[in-house]
Structure 1
Amino acid sequence: MSGSADRPFLPHFPVELPVPDLRPWLAGNLLPGVWSFTAAEPGPHVALVSLIHGNEIAGALLLSRWLARGLRPARGRLTFVFANLRAFARFDPADPTLSRYIDEDMNRVWCGRVLNGPRQSAELQRARELLPLVESVDVLLDLHSMLWPSDPLILCGTTPRGQVLGRRLGVPPLVVADQGHNTGLRLIDHSGFSTPEGQRTALLVEGGQHWEAATLATLEGCATALLRETGTLDLPPAPSAAPPRLARVTRTVVAGTHNFSFVAPFRGGAVIPHRNTLLALDGETEIRTPHDDCLLVMPSPRTMRGHTAVRLARFLGPDEA
């Protein structure tokens, strides 16, 4: 077990993945930790982003391997981003949860008012450095993983274009439309990607548990599908598979007390068949499913007050959006 005064006690999580050696890629060719390549043929600007959280090493491992292989776009522009390098520099497989960020969660700072405001932090400084690049991107895939065991999924925000792109990728086969968090805007919620009238699109893929080998394979499959779908690479068609399922978040459960606890060890991706099923107790308040066939999106068994404990979602039909 590990813990501190400002984080809950956590079980030991083995780190199955090798820690990526990013030393060859730290300088970047555009910004520190940012590599960008432009093809002769026109096409969209596609960005693959890793290390928004410094302990989520699977995405960085994928991008470092693709850079070492010399991957280049067939058309358009392709950018690889290692975002929070300062947090990653602290990564220790013996205590891998400590390096999520330096000062604050880098995936909660992407509001224009915050980015343009007076507040200072290591993560805000880096976000401001990356902002001109982000504003030039047509399609962005943010590579993430999860602390607690869960089925992988794509988060597509609220725009119909995000839902369409997420469904077209098909890897992983679950797409969730959600409103994000009340504690700040994620990268995919930045106004350039989330305005209803825009064309620019961003997705966030949660590939699985942070340090499992299968997570790397899922992130590679999703990123490859995006490069195929955007025409960035000339790749053979993907094998036929069942169309992915789309779900929309109907309730975001935020812990109102320090005594939030689930009544069972629920796994992310579980579907609760019946409405009004008891899920958790938040102090003395009961948290129950609001509808039948309720999908549990990334339940967090150790949730501090004010943080998201779980998102509850309803599956949509093929013609719903």
Structure 2
Amino acid sequence: MSCASKRHVRPESAFRFRAVSALLPPSPPSLPAVRIEYPPPDISPWIAGNCGIQGVHHFESRRPGPHVAVTALMHGNEYAGAYALQQLLMQPLRPLHGRLSLIFLNLAAYKTFNPARPTLSRFIEEDMNRLWQPELIASAHTSVEMQRVREVLPVLETVDILLDIHTMLWPAQPLFLCSMTENSRDLAYCVSGAQTNPPAVVQDGGHGDGLRLIDYTRFNTPHSYTRACLLEAGQHWQKDAAQQALLSTRIFLAQTGTLSSAPTSATSSEPVRQAVVTDCVQALTSRFVFVQPFASGSVIRKAGTVIAFDGQDEIRTPYNNCILVMPNLRPRRGHTAVRLAKRLNNKTGTQA
């Protein structure tokens, strides 16, 4: 279910109710610590690219195969993916089959990163990961980010298999996000399942305020060969997130047959946890507050449990064993505060 489907829904929604109980909205919870454990990687040797487009590196094999791509820096302050691409580019790259593209996306935002104010370099003018609607790209709308979308789009239009690397502001275990198509889910499942500690795989329909790159038409067509998934590698600026980004990238390239270098992780005996987002909770006021600082992946056992207040509204879980996906502990008005998800049966792919 798309976030858009719940965007303006009020008390009649599955999760939003006008407050009638004796519960009072709590004070905002203490926020988890946010630390910068490693500096932003120096990508200056690779900004020029090698194919006529800044930040884009392209490598060809003499043998036929898919065009595989890894993108990083969709948001300028999420540099774990840039670290992963930097590590790959420091060694000779020769795809075994097909083509490989490594792409640094929002170079302008990354250039502005300031450790003293690290959240402010997410973008220059608008969120680049909400701009992937073909109609919007073809329109007269313009911004720093839209100009960059149009610059890299000719490359992405030829990509068959894509990994887009991100990180999260609040502490959370890594996870893969994918669209509702089966082929994209299978891609995320395979890359996750090849790891000792497999990240969860979460399917969702995207955001109401614009399409992500993984939702772009080329990667979001049912029964198509093309597919994409998004890695949330962990918390921003944490060494573990950088290592997770590199590990997942190497496994992704090995799984697609692009590179032969063996990752250091071994296949896990643990099953990959799968879930599907049923609802997106949007902050309709500036007074949205959770009842406690939930972490991504928290499971609320009982339906009807109050998890947050949004002005005069209570936000309640719509079913038992509700999974909270990437709660934003300080959402701005109009932004997604949390996604609500149900566990999927690993064997059938249906709701458990």
Instruction: Specify the TM-score bucket, using the shorter chain as the normaliser.
Output: over 0.9
For the residue of structure 2 that corresponds to 1:232, the secondary structure is: coil
- 2:67 is aligned to 45
Higher strand share: 1
For the residue of structure 2 that corresponds to 1:43, the secondary structure is: coil
Q: Partners of 1:72 and 1:53 in 2: how far apart?
A: 28
Q: Partners of 2:291 and 2:339 in 1: how far apart?
A: 16
Percent of pairs identical after alignment?
Answer: 48
Is the contact between residue 148 and residue 209 of structure 1 (CA under 8 Å) also seen in structure 2? yes
Q: How far is 1:236 from its partner?
A: 4.6
For the residue of structure 1 that corresponds to 2:146, the secondary structure is: helix
- For residues 270-298 of structure 1, what are the alpha-carbon distances to aligned partners after superposition, in whole Å with 9 as ceiling and x for unaligned? 11111111100011111111111111110
Q: Partners of 2:33 and 2:122 in 1: how far apart?
A: 16
Q: Partners of 1:209 and 1:70 in 2: how far apart?
A: 30
TM-score normalized with structure 1 length: 0.94
**Structure 1 counterpart of 2:280, one-letter code:** T
- 1:222 is aligned to 248
- For residues 285-317 of structure 1, what are the alpha-carbon distances to aligned partners after superposition, in whole Å with 9 as ceiling and x for unaligned? 111111111111100011111110000100010
Aligned to 2:228, which of 184, 202, 211? 202
- 2:267 is aligned to 240
Residue 45 (structure 2) pairs with residue 24 (structure 1) = yes
**Structure 2 counterpart of 1:301, one-letter code:** L
**Structure 2 counterpart of 1:78, one-letter code:** L
- Could you say which structure has the greater relative contact order, defined with CA pairs below 8 angstroms and 6 or more residues apart? 2
Aligned to 2:313, which of 276, 280, 285? 285
In structure 1, list runs of 5 or more residues that go unmatched.
1-9
Q: How far is 1:198 from its partner?
A: 2.1
In structure 2, list runs of 5 or more residues that go unmatched.
1-30
Q: How far is 1:235 from its partner?
A: 4.2
Is the contact between residue 289 and residue 308 of structure 2 (CA under 8 Å) also seen in structure 1? yes
For the residue of structure 1 that corresponds to 2:151, the secondary structure is: helix
- 1:167 is aligned to 189
Counterparts of residues 1-321 of structure 1 (less than 5 Å): 13-30=34-51, 31-170=53-192, 171=195, 172-236=198-262, 239-241=266-268, 242-318=270-346, 319-321=348-350
Q: Partners of 2:272 and 2:349 in 1: how far apart?
A: 13
Q: How far is 1:39 from its partner?
A: 1.2
Q: How far is 1:215 from its partner?
A: 0.3
Q: How far is 1:119 from its partner?
A: 0.7
For the residue of structure 2 that corresponds to 1:41, the secondary structure is: coil
**Structure 1 counterpart of 2:213, one-letter code:** L
Is the contact between residue 325 and residue 338 of structure 2 (CA under 8 Å) also seen in structure 1? yes
Q: Partners of 2:129 and 2:91 in 1: how far apart?
A: 29
Q: Partners of 1:274 and 1:86 in 2: how far apart?
A: 45
